[in-house]
């Protein structure tokens, strides 16, 4: 979604801000802009569309010499994508400039009252009210004016403000949307995500909720809303700038698909020790509390929800605990039956998805224990939970989630094994056998990816098809749902994913001669039933593309194409069987000429409900 970068220092900041915005592109946006303090006045440059349009606008002498400025990529929520609605916004006199992420929920009332007081608005956005509020409250002290503005607004937001009479000063504030400070030498940055300044500094401070930050070239001061100073540690992030780049691959998505063995290995590291058992040290919910759990409720969106679907099978199978599951955007409108013995698990790569956060907060307010599974340290989900289990997939930039998905599946498998250990639902030797096998999966996946050649050939034969059906049973079903989501997200081809047994109750009507039907048909207790469904597909002259277990030669006679994955036990198979489906979607999208890293209309992090 929207991205913020701000700079104060000695260097000319136009390019620094622009490069920062480039690093935030992955979040999704439809317009962009910069404002800089130049020769005692604020210069504003904005453009609709991608950053190339902004670059065109920036060509020439504009904004040079400036060493204080703000940059923003906007993903439209209030008001269509347009130059006027793009950030930064200015106050009436062009003395104050702001960039904002999030939503000001009471902007209509504020706008009406500010208009009545004589403020003139130039955009349809909710964000512009903040520029006018700061103007209204400004009496020579920018920090005090920002503080007063915050007390007027409701919603969730992160914003930065500069004023033409305060050279070198940026004031930032956050409520529920991320804002980070990149600490440099004689210069500092503020951004909504670390990659924006990672090429300049790896020293980071995280701004907390209901906090403000006052940044100058030589100092960073974090304040609470009483304007009392707060101590904050500087953390050195281990990602280097290279990790935020494509590393030789043509796209981030392809790079991230190939990073999956490492993401998986990192997520398992130290949690399945050689001496046996499962160790989840950072899980701050005690083993005693977890032993009392009688229901696990999984809430998530999109790909994270599909990881939750895999989780349901392993939690039931290994930990013998009742599991419920819902998409986060629906959970809140139900009347979920929760108690202190319910464990609600919010799964979110970003830890900032608004629907998932609302569901987690609701669960907590109803007395449940809440656990976050997330990839992002310090994200909002980690603050809204009683405990956190991190996936360690590293930074994912492609909008379509891949490596974070397999890391999420692994994290839930770890949780299920841990609960099985606490609840004595599996004997120790069985837990150790599963743990050993789990530890071997990254290597199996690496071997598979190194030798993979089929997905591209299959993609070449089918990429012009108008529709794909995906079928699976048991743990194969969430894999199908994820494979179908990947294909529609990045290639815009309509897909349906169905429980294979349900096909004859409706979707079979869609099949015609040559219709591609992707079937997850790994060895396991539902394999024979899946074969029956394949026969039903073949009887309609549709084309079967199977994902099957290495060594299953028989399936070749039933399918036009087979993508073989290494053999594992059934409960671990989703870690591997999702990979050929990611690749199939990837190659089809490439052949169709689609932008796989930034599919149309999609945002990496969906911070609106």
Interface contacts to ligand AGP, rule CB under 6 A: 301-304, 348-350, 353, 356, 399-401, 489, 602, 605-606
3-state secondary structure 490-503: HHCCCEEEEEHHHH
Rounded Cα distance between 554 and 249, Å, is 36
* Residue 493 Cβ vs ligand AGP, minimum distance, rounded to whole Å: 15
* Residue 202 Cβ vs ligand AGP, minimum distance, rounded to whole Å: 23
Give just the sign of the alpha carbon dihedral 88, 94, 97, 98.
Answer: negative
- Main-chain phi, psi angles of 385, to 5 degrees: -120, 160
Q: Who contacts 301 (Cβ-Cβ below 8 Å, separation ≥6)?
A: 327, 328, 329, 348, 353, 355, 356, 606
Q: Which is the catalytic residue, given 136, 255, 486, 604?
A: 604
Q: Is the peptide bond before 88 cis (omega within 30 degrees of 0)?
A: yes
Rounded Cα distance between 183 and 203, Å, is 5
289-299 per-residue burial string, b: 16 or more CB within 10 A, e: under 16: bbeebebbbbb
* Residue 386 Cβ vs ligand AGP, minimum distance, rounded to whole Å: 19
**Active site annotation includes 177:** no
Give just the sign of the alpha carbon dihedral 15, 20, 23, 28.
Answer: negative
* Residue 355 Cβ vs ligand AGP, minimum distance, rounded to whole Å: 8
* Residue 89 Cβ vs ligand AGP, minimum distance, rounded to whole Å: 27
Identify which of residues 37 and 399 has a Cβ nearer to ligand AGP in the complex: 399
Contact call for residues 101 and 3 (beta carbons, < 8 A): yes
Q: At what angle do helices 260-268 and 403-423 cross, to 10 degrees?
A: 20
* Residue 388 Cβ vs ligand AGP, minimum distance, rounded to whole Å: 14
List Cβ<8 Å contacts ≥24 apart for 284-291.
Answer: 284/386, 284/387, 284/388, 285/343, 285/369, 285/371, 285/386, 285/387, 287/422, 289/369, 290/343, 290/418, 290/419, 290/422, 291/422, 291/423
3-state secondary structure 48-79: ECCHHHHHHHHCCCCCCCCCEEEEEEECCCCC
Sheet holding 369-374, edge to edge: 322-327, 295-300, 342-348, 369-374, 387-390
Q: What is the DSSP letter of 227?
A: -
Identify which of residues 342 and 374 has a Cβ nearer to ligand AGP in the complex: 374
Q: Which is the catalytic residue, given 2, 63, 177, 301?
A: 2
Identify which of residues 391 and 559 has a Cβ nearer to ligand AGP in the complex: 391
Rounded Cα distance between 128 and 119, Å, is 11
Identify which of residues 25 and 489 has a Cβ nearer to ligand AGP in the complex: 489
Identify which of residues 99 and 401 has a Cβ nearer to ligand AGP in the complex: 401
Q: How far is CA 65 from CA 14, 82, 107, 376, in A?
A: 9, 28, 35, 36
E strands, 264-321, where?
A: 295-300
Among the listed residues 542, 500, 505, the one whose alpha carbon sits nearest the alpha carbon of residue 521: 500
Rounded Cα distance between 464 and 462, Å, is 6
Identify which of residues 166 and 306 has a Cβ nearer to ligand AGP in the complex: 306
What's the burial of 273, exposed, middle or buried (CB within 10 Å: 0-12/13-18/19+)? exposed
Extract the tokens encoding 307: 């990881």
Identify which of residues 8 and 582 has a Cβ nearer to ligand AGP in the complex: 582
The residue count of the chain comes to 609
Place of tokens 């960039």: 99
* Residue 404 Cβ vs ligand AGP, minimum distance, rounded to whole Å: 7
Q: Which residue is nearest to ligand AGP (CB)?
A: 302
Identify which of residues 178 and 261 has a Cβ nearer to ligand AGP in the complex: 178
Identify which of residues 28 and 184 has a Cβ nearer to ligand AGP in the complex: 28
* Residue 379 Cβ vs ligand AGP, minimum distance, rounded to whole Å: 9
Place of tokens 């464990």: 343
* Residue 410 Cβ vs ligand AGP, minimum distance, rounded to whole Å: 15
Q: What is the DSSP letter of 176?
A: B
**Active site annotation includes 246:** no
* Residue 526 Cβ vs ligand AGP, minimum distance, rounded to whole Å: 26
Identify which of residues 220 and 606 has a Cβ nearer to ligand AGP in the complex: 606
* Residue 540 Cβ vs ligand AGP, minimum distance, rounded to whole Å: 30
Identify which of residues 349 and 533 has a Cβ nearer to ligand AGP in the complex: 349
CB atoms within 10 A of CB 242: 10
Rounded Cα distance between 289 and 418, Å, is 13
* Residue 408 Cβ vs ligand AGP, minimum distance, rounded to whole Å: 8
Identify which of residues 349 and 362 has a Cβ nearer to ligand AGP in the complex: 349
Which helix (H) or strand (E) covers residue 268, if one does?
helix 260-268
Q: Which residues are catalytic?
A: 2, 604
């Amino acid at each position: 979604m929207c991205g913020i970068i701000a700079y104060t220092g000695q260097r000319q900041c136009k390019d620094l801000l622009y490069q920062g915005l480039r690093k935030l592109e992955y979040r999704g946006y439809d317009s962009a802009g910069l404002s800089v303090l130049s020769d005692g006045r604020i210069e504003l440059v904005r453009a609709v569309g991608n950053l190339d349009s902004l670059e065109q606008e920036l060509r020439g002498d504009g904004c040079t010499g400036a060493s204080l400025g703000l940059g923003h990529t906007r993903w439209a929520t209030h008001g269509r994508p347009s130059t006027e609605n793009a950030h930064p916004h200015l106050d009436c006199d062009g003395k104050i400039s702001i960039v904002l992420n999030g939503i000001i929920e009471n902007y209509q009332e504020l706008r009406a009252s500010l208009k009545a007081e004589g403020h003139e608005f130039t955009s349809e956005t909710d964000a512009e009210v903040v520029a006018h509020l700061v103007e209204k409250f400004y009496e020579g002290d920018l920090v005090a004016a920002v503080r007063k503005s915050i007390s007027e607004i409701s919603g969730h937001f992160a914003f930065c403000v500069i004023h033409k009479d305060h050279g070198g000063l940026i004031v930032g504030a956050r409520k529920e949307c991320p804002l980070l400070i990149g600490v440099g030498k004689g210069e500092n940055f503020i951004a909504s995500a670390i990659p924006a300044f990672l090429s300049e500094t790896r020293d980071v401070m995280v701004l907390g909720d209901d906090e403000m930050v006052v940044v100058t070239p030589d100092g960073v001061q974090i304040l609470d809303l009483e304007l009392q100073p707060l101590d904050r540690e500087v953390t050195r992030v281990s990602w280097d700038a290279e990790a935020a780049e494509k590393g030789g691959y043509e796209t981030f998505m392809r790079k991230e698909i190939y990073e999956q063995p490492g993401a998986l290995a990192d997520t398992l590291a130290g949690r399945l020790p050689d001496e046996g058992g499962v160790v989840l040290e950072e899980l701050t919910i005690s083993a005693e509390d977890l032993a009392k759990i009688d229901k696990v409720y999984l809430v998530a969106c999109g790909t994270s929800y599909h990881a939750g679907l895999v989780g349901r099978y392993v939690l039931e199978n290994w930990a013998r605990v009742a599991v419920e599951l819902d998409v986060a955007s629906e959970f809140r409108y139900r009347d979920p039956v929760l108690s202190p013995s319910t464990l609600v698990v919010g799964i979110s790569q970003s830890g900032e998805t608004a629907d998932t956060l609302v569901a987690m907060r609701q669960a907590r307010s109803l007395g449940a224990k809440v656990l976050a599974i997330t990839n992002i340290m310090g994200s909002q989900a980690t603050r809204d939970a009683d405990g956190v289990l991190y996936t360690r997939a590293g930074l994912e930039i492609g909008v379509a989630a891949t490596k974070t998905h397999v890391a999420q599946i692994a994290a839930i498998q770890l949780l299920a094994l841990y609960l099985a250990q606490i609840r004595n639902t599996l004997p120790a030797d069985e837990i150790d056998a599963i743990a050993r096998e789990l530890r071997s999966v990254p290597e199996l996946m690496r071997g598979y990816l190194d030798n993979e050649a089929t997905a591209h050939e299959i993609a070449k034969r089918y990429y012009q098809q108008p529709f794909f059906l995906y079928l699976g049973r048991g743990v194969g079903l969430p894999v199908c749902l994820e494979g179908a989501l990947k294909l529609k997200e990045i290639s815009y081809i309509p897909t349906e994913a169905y429980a294979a047994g349900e096909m004859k109750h409706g979707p079979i009507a869609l099949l015609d001669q040559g219709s591609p039907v992707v079937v997850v048909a790994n060895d396991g207790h539902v394999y024979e039933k899946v074969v029956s469904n394949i026969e039903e597909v073949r009887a309609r002259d549709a084309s079967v593309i199977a994902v099957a277990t290495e060594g299953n030669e028989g399936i070749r006679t039933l399918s036009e194409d087979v993508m073989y994955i290494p053999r594992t036990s059934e409960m671990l198979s989703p870690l591997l069987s999702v990979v050929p489906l990611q690749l199939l979607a990837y190659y089809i999208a490439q052949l169709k000429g689609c932008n796989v890293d930034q599919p149309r209309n999609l945002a990496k992090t969906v911070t609106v409900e």
